């Protein structure tokens, strides 16, 4: 078979694969995932080792540029990001225009798109140097937009943390600094958030990442591609699951804590209810991130001295599901989002901000995948279809219909 001619002319042959369950859209050297064995690696490094030993900014660099940075490279990267972290004052006015109760994911997607208006040079990136400039800009500005979206909801003043803090610590400061200016780093909170961000940083061709690649493949700029990725992540079947999990656990608690009743609902095919935080398109054994997060949730609650009934309900659900033939047969295991919300809650992050936190973590993955797509000079993404509509019909004027 002449692959090249197949690529340019399908000769009427189209593969139909709804949901792209078996279709690869690209070659990628970023993330390795074996769903049967529960393996996840970024650029060859095991997720377990990165979560334990690395910091989020190092992982950003690793994902985007392919190697762990030297100390000098890391310092330069951080300095370049900090230099680009200010956003135009008009962006504040756009933020002010949103209703206070607007969902933060919608606000974030819009603001990220709006950044293009203030940074037009970020769109046409033909050299690696131009790409680098766009990358440090979005890495600098996105945490600011995320923290501001939260503070706007809370009616708190907006500002930019401080220059001396690390990337994640500075984000926490922007989020939680008291109106008096007071902020103290809590090491437990910082460590837990760093770990969560690393665990969310990339996951090969998931829904939002594929969206970023496909939007970017038309040579739309990095910022709008990421804005589209944020929109894709918002849905409850993807990143929005972390919010949906906590809402589900709360509902079970409110209802008296009968987990069996909700298990039965999840198995009932006439009931649209699904056990949120369970199941994964690729992991059919276990989600390695969920294992790490479950342990981190235990540690964080213990270190912060928090007792959360919701964690007990989550553990009961997991135990029942692991013994239930419905879940076992369909290989449905807790995914990354099953326990992440419990940690976010313990860190004082409100439930509507859970998915924006996921977006903050996934940002380097989106960037890395967009950069790889551009450097590989991939063609525009354009799936085919099988047409199932009417055959040729004659037009009938409105009077005669
Ligand atoms: N609760 C109950 N049943 C489920 C669940 C669930 N959470 N997930 C899948 N199933 C069932 C389906 O009803 C289907 O049953 P059937 O074979 O009898 O029809 C079977 O398991 C296969 O499910 P699909 O929806 O075909 O699997 P798919 O790979 O398309 O979907 C998804 C994966 C979207 C993650 C799904 O498992 C789900 O909706 N989970 C809940 C939402 C969630 O947690 N999403 C986060 C995913 S991780 C992430 O994006 C970060």
Check residue 162 and give its pLDDT. 80
Q: Is 365 in the pocket of ligand 1 (CB under 6 A)?
A: no
Residue 330 Cα to ligand 1 midpoint, Å, equals 9
Whether 278 is in the pocket of ligand 1, judged by its Cβ within 6 Å, is yes
User: Strand, helix or coil at 87?
Assistant: coil
- Nearest-CA residue for atom 37 of ligand 1: 279
Exactly one of 103, 238, 280, 287 is catalytic; name it: 280
Cα 272 vs. chain centroid, distance in angstroms?
A: 24
Q: For a pLDDT cut of 70, what percent of the chain falls above it?
A: 97
Q: How far is the CA of 18 from the centre of ligand 1 (A)?
A: 15
Ligand 1 centre to CA of 354 (Å) is 20
Q: What's the pLDDT at 109?
A: 98
Q: What is the pLDDT of residue 4?
A: 57
CB 297 within 8 Å of CB 52: no
- What is the position in ligand 1's atom list of the atom closest to the CA of 206? 50
Nearest CA owner, ligand 1 atom 32: 280
Q: Is 263's C-beta closer than 6 angstroms to any atom of ligand 1?
A: no
DSSP bridge partners of 39:
34
**Highest mean pLDDT: which range of 30-34, 116-120, 297-301, 318-322:** 30-34
What is the CA angle 158-161-163, rounded to 5? 145
Interval 7-50: pLDDT, tens: 566 667 888 999 999 999 999 999 999 999 999 999 999 999 99
Ligand 1 atom, smallest distance to 266 CA: 2
Distance CA 29, CA 63 (A): 10
Distance (angstroms) between ligand 1 centre and the Cα of 234 equals 16
User: Measured in Å, how far apart are the chain's first and last C-alpha atoms?
Assistant: 50
**Reported confidence tier of residue 171, pLDDT bands at 50, 70, 90:** very high
Q: How far is the CA of 117 from the centre of ligand 1 (A)?
A: 38
Q: Residue written as tokens 């050297």? A: 29
Strand pairing category for 39-42 and 31-34: antiparallel
pLDDT over threshold 80, residue 2: no
pLDDT band, very low/low/confident/very high, at 308 (cuts 50, 70, 90): confident
Question: Quick one: tokens of 289?
Answer: 């991130």
Q: pLDDT grade, residue 259 (50/70/90)? A: very high
The answer to whether the CB of 335 is under 6 A from ligand 1 is yes
Structure token digits, residue 305: 């001295």
Mutate to test the pocket of ligand 1, among 279, 326, 366 (most ligand atoms within 8 A of CB): 279
Distance 241 CA to ligand 1 centre (A): 11
Per-residue burial over 241-275, b if 16 or more Cβ lie within 10 Å, else e, is bbbbbbebbbebeeeeeebeebbeebbeeeeeebb
Q: Residues 6 or more apart from 276 whose CB is under 8 A from it? A: 236, 241, 244, 245, 247, 248, 337, 338
Nearest-CA residue for atom 12 of ligand 1: 330
> pLDDT tens for residues 191-231?
999 999 999 999 999 999 999 999 999 999 999 999 999 99
Instruction: Please confirm, yes or no, whether 280 is among the known catalytic residues.
Output: yes
User: How many C-alpha atoms does 268 have within 13 Å on its Cβ side?
Assistant: 10
Output the six-digit token pair for 137. Answer: 């800009």
Q: Which two tokens stand for residue 307?
A: 């007792």
Angle (nearest 5°) at CA 120 between 116 and 122: 80
- Helices 187-200 & 354-375 angle (0-180, nearest 10): 40
Nearest to 222 by CA among 147, 146, 148, 139: 139
CA distance 246 to 339: 9
CB atoms near residue 95 (< 10 Å): 20
């Amino acid at each position: 078979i002449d692959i090249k001619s197949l690529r340019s002319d399908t000769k009427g042959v189209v593969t139909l694969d709804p949901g792209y369950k078996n279709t690869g859209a690209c070659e990628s050297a970023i993330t390795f995932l074996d769903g049967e064995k529960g393996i996840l690696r970024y650029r060859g490094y095991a997720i377990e080792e990165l979560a334990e030993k690395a910091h989020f900014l190092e992982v950003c660099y690793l994902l985007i540029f392919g190697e762990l940075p030297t100390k000098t490279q890391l310092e330069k990267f951080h300095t370049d990001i900090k230099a680009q972290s200010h956003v135009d004052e008009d962006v504040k006015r756009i933020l002010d225009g949103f209703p206070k109760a607007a969902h933060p994911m919608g606000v974030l997607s819009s603001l990220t798109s709006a950044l293009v208006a203030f940074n037009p040079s970020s769109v046409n990136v033909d050299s690696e140097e131009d790409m680098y400039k766009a990358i440090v800009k979005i890495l600098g500005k996105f945490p600011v937009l995320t923290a501001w979206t939260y503070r706007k909801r809370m009616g708190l003043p907006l500002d930019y943390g401080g220059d001396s803090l690390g990337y994640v610590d500075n984000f926490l400061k922007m989020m939680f600094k008291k109106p008096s200016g007071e902020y103290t780093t809590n090491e437990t909170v910082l460590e837990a958030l760093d770990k969560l961000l690393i665990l969310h940083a990339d996951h090969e061709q998931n829904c939002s990442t594929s969206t970023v690649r496909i939007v970017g493949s038309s040579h739309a700029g990095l910022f709008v591609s990421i804005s589209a990725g944020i929109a894709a992540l918002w849905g409850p079947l993807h990143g929005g699951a972390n919010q949906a999990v906590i809402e589900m656990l709360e509902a079970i608690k409110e209802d008296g804590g009968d987990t069996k009743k909700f298990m039965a609902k999840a198995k009932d095919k006439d009931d649209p209810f699904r056990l949120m935080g369970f199941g994964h398109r690729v992991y059919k054994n276990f989600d390695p991130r969920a294992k790490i997060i479950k342990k981190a949730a235990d540690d964080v609650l213990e270190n912060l001295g928090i007792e959360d009934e919701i964690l007990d309900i989550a553990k009961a659900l997991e135990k029942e599901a692991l013994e239930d033939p419905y879940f076992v047969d369909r290989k449905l295991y807790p995914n990354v989002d099953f326990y992440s919300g419990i940690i976010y809650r313990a860190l004082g992050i409100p439930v509507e901000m859970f998915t924006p936190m996921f977006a903050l973590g996934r940002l380097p993955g989106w960037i890395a995948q967009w950069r790889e797509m551009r450097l590989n000079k991939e063609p525009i993404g354009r799936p085919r279809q099988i047409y199932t509509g009417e055959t040729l019909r004659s037009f009938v004027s409105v009077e005669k219909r």
